[in-house]
Structure 1
Amino acid sequence: MMTTRADLLAARCRPRTAALDAGAAAQLQALLPDWTIDHGRLTRSFAFKNYHRTMAFVNALAYVSHTEDHHPEMTVTYNTCVVRYDTHSAHGLTDNDFICAAKADALYQQAAVPA
């Protein structure tokens, strides 16, 4: 099991992973303090200075999602992107959700542009 944020960032998504139990999901969520587990989905809202920066993040996250073959639900507005992960095939949260959430955080930190 991954025990650090660095472990999550270094990991790659795997096909056909099993859903995590609530305890394992809570342990991984603790590594990503800006994320919450809301209605069974790992969720975070990202704020941006303007629409251009929002869309740049969305496009970068779409690229990461494609390379990991694990795609979030995204709700995009002018200066906000809400990202939600869960694994439909596993009917819950898997390691893949936390791996991709950590990578989304890294993208956001790279932007380093305050809202």
Structure 2
Amino acid sequence: MLAGLVAVIGAAAPAHADPAGNSASDVSFLAALNKAGITYQSPATAVGVGKRACELMDQGHPQVDVIHNVSSSNPGFTVDGAAQFTMIAASAYCPQHLGQPVTEAPSGATPTGS
């Protein structure tokens, strides 16, 4: 089970501030969420969920499991919305997972220290 990825993102009221202290990757991630129309209550929470999705993929969890976890943990998300969020997170924080089949665990997955 993929515990620890609980945060309300999709059903949240729009909040598109870029808080001070965010890395360039965080700012890029939040901008991509905003461009995709994905809303969130807290930028820090959205960043945390995005980074956690990458940690799970780094640990070898298949993208499909991560997507379903994001969807089930955030009632405002459809599976498609969760997939979009997860791919945006991968683009910002773990691009090595882009292009991998979503139904299979990445081969030789090891933490990258993102």
TM-score normalised by L of structure 2? 0.28
In proportion to residue count, which structure has more helix?
2
In proportion to residue count, which structure has more strand?
1
TM-score normalised by L of structure 1? 0.28
